Chain A
């Protein structure tokens, strides 16, 4: 078990290194940030001064090493645009994103998992067909479109919910629904297929042959086995929703990490983009680690085979 955890942690560190190098290079391909930082009338000497001030005159390897050195100390640099430490900006926005991601995850789980189970248990019934249709819609309707429709219906026509911004629970409902919608559909499909596979297995047949009540067969024997892939997806989905809800956050003017990233990209704010992406990567790696370890608790086979 300990070896398993150590191995996973090492993998995670390697992954983060690769991610940091990649994002470092990619932002630098977007163009020169100095042009956006200086005033329109700035002379070449002024630009050079700004460059020197932010350390952009040094070679890329040196810049990368400095960036990594600071990152290890927990500093992600200073935003070009806000002139504030990136970590400060990030942690200001994080609670909002966590709220949105958590609510959206709950919505996707509460819709996707039960619907997927019923679909699998009553396979090819009318319910299953309806669920399959809804899942298809869920996967094909883009979140931004759904977001706009929600605003139109609930804010403009019905005037039940505010169009945008953050505040009380009413502000969360629409963005979370628009964000969780797609994931609910993918959760439904995964739960359904995973349940179907398990329900067709021999050990479920044996469980039925033992004369166990259907509830026990489905809720205990089948569900526990079907849960494993669903669990992974839910974990990864949540991190994606927290960190990459860019479009939804922009539509609903939700002050989260997604919008921070959006602004950073438009301003060529290298430290900001790097910082947000690294933090997202860190969170994804961490949640995967947690899911892997939780796996080991669900599935005894993983516990022993490293």
Chain B
């Protein structure tokens, strides 16, 4: 499997020719700092902080697992990165520095040249993410057609190559088919081929295996891993499946109520979770053969439009301190590379001088 094969070398944009190349090699591929995305409704009278001061970094070849319950802001975080938010949402603060450029300062025109080429997204449900009226060829070809301006034979060869990369058998005739002629697993591989079509350095996969059955899931994850090994692409993997996180990711970011409450290298997170919410999440993973009833986190995720004061998790937190009710914790950087937003870890092997901000 050779993603950047010689047959297409002249057409594939080489990393070295890209702006911000020096920064990309030296620094992270993606650096999200203090990102804040809010939804405004009723003419701005109601504000929902869907993404609230989220920060993380991602280097070439790395995989970040973004986990959290539904509605915790995972998808909005991803859409903020590519600048494709719903009408009601707006980035109100922070920055998304991709290969040295701040994407939050770019126009939609400039973003369009980045989307599908340098940052690709794989959506959740392969059954609905392909256009039913267009052939596979056309849908896979589009990024190469519009971004790399490939035409005719070179375009056809490029598409066949991409289909081969995602292990679609006999791509020459498969590419003439329509999405409805393919299974879910195959369609998701097509979506994968579309993601690779522009030769991206960052792929955001938003729960790409949630709608696939388990055996197909494993195949798909292996495929993504292989592609990553070949291309060195950085991967953001959105999921709520901690098993997948353990298998796929180098580091993990846990979201709760729009906030990133803990981020850590994957080992540290599983061995020594710092935030009570992370501990609860890990406790809620079903274990094979266990006779005990499955642990579940008490209460409901909070309404983002009406968050509790202090730490958003405190009403459900078994270890809440008095100050958690009134004061919102900031990021505490810990010695083992993890960062937790929780008062409990204050003072424990703290690495940096980042202190929590007091809030009433």
Contact = CB atoms under 8 A, between A and B. Distances in A.
B78 to A, nearest CB: 10
A211 interface: yes
Contact of A300 (B115, B123, B124, B178): B178
B224 interface: no
B132 A209 contact: no
Across chains A and B, which 5 residue pairs bring their CB atoms closest together, nearest first?
A: A211-B116, A210-B116, A211-B115, A300-B178, A202-B128
B130 interface: yes
B346 interface: no
Contacts of B146: 210-213, 216
A290 B48 CA distance: 50
Given A211-B115, A211-B146, A216-B146, A206 B194 contact: yes
29 contacts: A202-B123, A206-B121, A206-B123, A206-B130, A206-B131, A206-B191, A206-B194, A208-B84, A208-B115, A209-B116, A210-B115, A210-B142, A210-B143, A210-B146, A210-B198, A211-B114, A211-B116, A211-B117, A211-B146, A216-B142, A221-B131, A221-B134, A225-B131, A225-B133, A299-B132, A300-B133, A300-B178, A301-B180, A304-B180
Contacts of B198: 210-211
B129 A202 contact: yes
Interface of B: 82, 84, 111-117, 120-121, 123-125, 128-134, 142-143, 146-147, 178, 180-181, 191, 194, 197-198
A59 B191 CA distance: 68
B203 to A, nearest CB: 11
Contacts of A210: 115-116, 142-143, 146, 194, 197-198
A298 B130 CA distance: 16
B129 A211 contact: no
A203 B115 contact: no
A205 B123 CA distance: 9
Contacts of B113: 211
A206 B84 CA distance: 11
A201 B130 CA distance: 10
Contact of B84 (A205, A298, A301): A205
Nearest to A220: B134
Contacts of B115: 208-211
Interface string A215-242: 0100001001100000000000000000
Nearest to A208: B84
Interface of A: 201-203, 205-213, 216, 221, 224-225, 298-301, 304
Nearest to A303: B178
A300 B133 CA distance: 6
A304 B123 CA distance: 27
A68 to B, nearest CB: 42
Contacts of B181: 304
Contacts of B131: 203, 206-207, 221, 225
Nearest to B147: A211
Contacts of B124: 202
Contact of B112 (A205, A211, A224): A211
Given A208-B115, A209-B82, A300-B133, 20 more contacts: A205-B84, A206-B123, A207-B131, A209-B123, A210-B115, A210-B143, A210-B198, A211-B111, A211-B115, A211-B143, A212-B116, A212-B142, A213-B112, A213-B146, A225-B132, A225-B133, A301-B132, A301-B180, A304-B180, A304-B181
Contacts of A221: 131, 134
Nearest to B128: A202
Contacts of A208: 84, 115
Nearest to B108: A214
Contacts of A225: 131-133
Given A210-B194, A211-B114, A301-B178, A205 B132 contact: no
Contact of B120 (A209, A213, A300): A209
B128 A201 contact: yes
B149 to A, nearest CB: 13
B116 A203 contact: no
Nearest to A204: B131
Contacts of A216: 142, 146
Nearest to B125: A202
A224 B198 CA distance: 25
A298 B178 CA distance: 12
B82 to A, nearest CB: 7
A216 B181 CA distance: 24
Nearest to A300: B178
Nearest to B111: A211
A185 B128 CA distance: 30
B114 A203 contact: no
Q: Which of A202, A210, A224, A301 has its CB near the most chain B CB atoms (within 10 A)?
A: A210
Q: Which of B113, B129, B131 has its CB near the most chain A CB atoms (within 10 A)?
A: B131
Contacts of B84: 205, 208-209
Contacts of B128: 201-203
Given A211-B113, A211-B143, A212-B116, A206 B129 contact: yes
Nearest to A201: B128
Nearest to B197: A210
